[in-house]
Amino acid sequence: MAKPNPLQEQLLKAGLTKKSKVAEIAREQNKARHAKGPSAPGEIQLEVERARAEKAERDRALAAERKAQAHLTELRAQARQIIQDRKVPRTGESEYRFTVDGAIRTVLIDADLRRKLSTGALVIARLDERFELLPRVAADKVRERVPAMIVLDHGQGAAATAEATTSEDDAYYAQFKVPDDLVW
């Protein structure tokens, strides 16, 4: 128990109060001095909580966006690595032309590579500003990660074009003979 103040001591000596009453008042004063009573949330406090919640939501959205961007970057890097590791060396003097983004591009290949490209065993993929030949298996792996890197794929396009053509078109174009040695 704390020592009573001089006024309390004088009241005790004069017999005007009891020791228990002095102790009770001392406890109440101590409690009032150290009390951290719950205060009702004010308007400012509510505004601060709302701002904190909004900031947390923005931070979560930003983190999700960064995570998605990092995932896309990782997939691009994986696709680039597959293309660099699995590219088929190009040999030959024959030009093979194809269109990309509205422009005609050319790669030099030989007759064997031309045959494999036309059957769909090989695919042309873009690696930065270069174009590389890939085997079908590697091209499928690249397509899973970044489909835009596959520029030309006769194997996949054959099913789509077969559905689009009709027998009427086939009958009409049958009258025009295409030479076997035609190089476009």
Residues β-bridged to residue 103: 100
Report pLDDT digits (tens) over 125-155: 998 889 999 999 999 999 999 999 999 988 8
Does 20 reside within a domain?
no
> Does residue 2 lie in a domain region?
no
Range of the domain at 69: 46-184
Give residue 176's identity as a one-letter amino acid code: F
Q: Is residue 8 part of a domain?
A: no
User: Can you give the pTM of this predicted structure?
Assistant: 0.57
Q: What is the pLDDT of residues 73-109, one digit of tens each?
A: 999 999 999 999 999 998 888 999 999 988 999 999 9
Q: What's the rounded Cα separation, in Å, for the pair 114 and 59?
A: 52
pLDDT for the residue numbered 158: 46
Q: How many CA atoms lie within 13 A of 58 on its CB side?
A: 6
pLDDT score, position 64: 96
Please report whether residue 7 resides in a domain. Answer: no
Q: Is residue 120 part of a domain?
A: yes
Residue 21 belongs to a domain: no
Give the gyration radius of the chain's Cα atoms: 41
Under DSSP, is residue 95 helix (H, G, I), strand (E, B) or coil? strand
Q: What pLDDT, on the 0 to 100 scale, is given for residue 19?
A: 85
| pLDDT tens digits for range 22-47 | 888 888 888 878 876 555 667 888 89
pLDDT score for 34: 81
Q: Which residue has the higher pLDDT, 178 or 109?
A: 109
Cα distance between residue 131 and residue 152, in whole Å: 10
84 to each of 27, 51, 106, 142, 160, how far by Cα in Å? 81, 49, 19, 11, 29
Q: Across residues 57-72, what is the average pLDDT?
A: 96
17 is a domain residue: no
Work out how many domains the chain is built from and give that number.
1
62 part of a folded domain: yes
Secondary structure of residue 107 in the 3-state scheme:
strand
pLDDT at 166: 61
Choose between 13 and 122: higher pLDDT.
122
